[in-house]
Amino acid sequence: MDIEELDELDRKLIVILSKKLCSAQKIYNQKEKLFRGHSEPTSPRQIGYRIKKLENERIITKVARFNYEEVGLGAGFLFIKTVNEEAFRNVKRYLTSNKHVYKLYVGSGDFDIVAVLYIKDFSVVSKFLASIREIPGIEKKAFMTLETGEIEADLIEERLSVIGK
């Protein structure tokens, strides 16, 4: 299926599922609120069928998302540019062994490494960043906190609303 073939209900379901994991019944029970201004699905079975169809076509996947805010954690991103392969390996080794780092991405461009951190107390961040400074071969770094996960879903809704029109 091409993205232009997604109808209004498919697009709305993708947005809702991007914001939170829900069952078809839960979506149906909140349909007046969730589908305000859009055509509403007629039954939980219809919603379930459409979700299953999107899954079968691999447009969406079943992925459990860690709701870090519910357990009192904040999220941050650490971006690092190293000067050579040895520094890259040392930073990667340090980050994979650090209890605050939950995801590690390798990239190209301005930064080699992006780490996703979940931290209970942001006073820990300054200690963490100081420990990173001790690793030789880091050309530059940047740290950013994440206030909320809602922006991701808002962008998905905006992008899906213009594609295929």
CATH architecture of structural domain 68-146: 2-Layer Sandwich (3.30)
Domain edges within the chain: 3-64, 68-146
Within 13 Å of residue 162, how many CA atoms lie on the same side as its CB?
5
Give the confidence band of 158 by pLDDT, cuts at 50, 70, 90: low
Q: Do residues 47 and 27 touch, judged by C-beta distance below 8 A?
A: yes
Question: Whole-angstrom Cα distance, residue 86 to residue 105?
Answer: 17
Residue range 3-64 forms a domain whose CATH class is mainly alpha
pLDDT at 83: 92
> What value does the mean pLDDT of the chain take?
77
Summarize the confidence of residues 89-100 as an average pLDDT: 92
Question: Whole-angstrom Cα distance, residue 76 to residue 147?
Answer: 9
Q: Do residues 76 and 146 touch, judged by C-beta distance below 8 A?
A: yes
Is residue 54 scored above 70 in pLDDT? yes
Give the confidence band of 125 by pLDDT, cuts at 50, 70, 90: confident
pLDDT at 11: 78
Strand partners, 75: 118, 146
Summarize the confidence of residues 43-58 as an average pLDDT: 81
Distances (CA, A) of 13 to 3, 33, 123: 14, 13, 39
Give the confidence band of 70 by pLDDT, cuts at 50, 70, 90: confident
Summarize the confidence of residues 4-24 as an average pLDDT: 71
Phi-psi region of 75 (alpha: psi -120 to 50; beta: other; left: phi over 0): beta
